[in-house]
Amino acid sequence: MPSYIGHITTAKLLLSKLNISHEDQIKFIIGNIVPDIKQVDIDYTLDEFVNKKNIQKSKRVTHFRKNTNKILEYPHLRIFLEKYREDSKEHIETFAYLFHLYTDHYYFKFFLPKVIKFYNYEMEEVDERDNFYYVKILKNNKILKAKTFFSKLSSQGLYKEYSKCDSFLINKFHLKINVDLLRRYVKKYSYNCYVEEIKITKIYDVFDKIERILKNKTSDEMMIFEPDDLERFVVDVVDSFCEEYSDLISNYL
């Protein structure tokens, strides 16, 4: 789920099922947001979608994506586990990284396709990025140009919706996040997630963004997602992960 708050929400729900120390809980929360650290700098002299394309290229590495011809890319967990299964057993930080990838996989492969559909210029449904032009929001049957839907500047798009989702999740799950504690922990202990594909030098930027989200909550109604569906998603993804990776979870019970 491409939202820091969404990932922290699912992380907190999973932590409630584990039997680990307070320090390991801190490590887990940090490890669960580490994969979304931007690995490239934003060049504000470039078009918004050029920057986004560069970010997505780096995410293909950090998120172990292979289906790069699809509009909705998602992590391939088998690739990660072939390399890091043993680390996921030994290091709570790597285990948290896996859970982030699993949440994204579940979100992009199963949840989001039930909420939006993609069409080409002739209004034929498509799932590959070479030929898509429109996005249909199934909640209200509204059709937007793809560039509008995926623009961070659009008041009707997906990223504006994520701000509303963040506020909903914070309120619904009574989310408490001590960002300063996370920041101090990383600084004091030189945090390591044991995944070589990611560089965590910009993690402080993430902490700053989370603080801004917490300070700028909105009460605006969601236009793309149904609140009940979003709540069900964060619960279901935790339950599904626990069932599928019970062998790994047993190391933390």
- Tell me the mean pLDDT in the region 127-150: 94
Return the amino acid letter for 249: I
Higher pLDDT, 57 or 29: 29
Q: How confident is the model at residue 51 (pLDDT cuts 50, 70, 90)?
A: low
Average per-residue pLDDT for the chain: 92
149: number of CA atoms within 13 Å, CB side?
Answer: 18
pLDDT of residue 69: 87
- Tell me the mean pLDDT in the region 74-83: 96
Question: Nearest-5° angle of CA 193, CA 6, CA 44?
Answer: 80
Share of the chain above pLDDT 70, in %: 93
- Tell me the mean pLDDT in the region 70-90: 96
| Neighbouring-strand partners of residue 142 | 137
pLDDT of residue 50: 64
pLDDT of residue 102: 98
- The residues, any chain, with a CB within 8 Å of residue 100's CB and separated by 6 or more, are 7, 31, 32, 33, 34, 35, 36
- Tell me the mean pLDDT in the region 152-159: 90
Q: How confident is the model at residue 239 (pLDDT cuts 50, 70, 90)?
A: very high
Exposed e or buried b per residue across 5-40, where buried means at least 16 C-beta atoms within 10 angstroms of its C-beta? bbbbbbbbbbbeebeeeeebbbbbbbbbbbbbbbbe
SS3 88: helix
Return the amino acid letter for 54: N
pLDDT of residue 45: 66
Distance CA 38, CA 55 (A): 7
Tell me the pLDDT tens digit for each residue of 33-49. Answer: 999 998 877 756 656 66
- Tell me the mean pLDDT in the region 73-97: 96
Answer whether 161's CB lies under 8 Å from 223's CB: yes
Name the pTM for this structure.
Answer: 0.94
